[in-house]
Amino acid sequence: MLVNPSNAQAETQLQDLSKAARAIGQRVLILKASTERELETAFATLVRERADALLIAADTFFATQPILFALLTARHAIPAIYPWRSYVDAGGLMSYGASLLDAYRATGVYAGRVLSGEKPADLPILQPTKFELVINLKTARVIGITIPATLLASADEVIE
């Protein structure tokens, strides 16, 4: 898993992952990066350690680098899963996470309620309710992996 140590949520993300990995008997390599240079180093470590796959943590810095991630994962033929579809649109393999479009809509509704006079403190806190799985088959072919038909059938969108 790749996390940004500068992210306030990094420790929580790592704790959740470690707990899940123990539950299914998997070993997890933790990589940290908060700059482009550190991303290059992290990918070199992935290759050296012969990692089977990469999970990218949700992070604002990472979200600004979807093309770099697509290039690095393709160069090193590492299957990666991302938190948002923008990475897949840029050439990443797959994403699973909250629909940002749905979150933006909810933000607009909230803004409308505040502009109509409701107090922000009186509004409920919303959690994501729509999650999406997006798979890029072009990328799968480039890195030489086959996506199981059952996973493709579960996808909200498949990019061919």
**Is 57 domain-assigned?**
yes
Task: Assess if residue 53 is contained within a domain.
Answer: yes
In a domain, 116, yes or no: no
- Give the domain extent around 153: 2-98+131-159
Whole-prediction pTM value?
A: 0.85
Domain count, the chain: 1
Residue 142's CATH number = 3.40.50.2300
**How do residues 136-150 score in pLDDT, each as one tens digit?**
999 999 999 999 999
Residue 137 lies in a domain: yes
pLDDT per residue as tens digits for the range 97-111: 999 889 899 999 999
Residue 73, domain member (yes or no): yes
In a domain, 107, yes or no: no
Is 85 among the domain residues?
Answer: yes
- Residues 38-64 have a mean pLDDT of 94
3-class secondary structure for the chain?
A: CEECCCCCCHHHHHHHHHHHHHHHCCCCCCEECCCHHHHHHHHHHHHHCCCCCEEECCCHHHHCCHHHHHHHHHHHCCCEEECCHHHHHCCCCEEEEECHHHHHHHHHHHHHHHHCCCCHHHCCCCCCCCEEEEEEHHHHHHHCCCCCHHHHHHCCEEEC
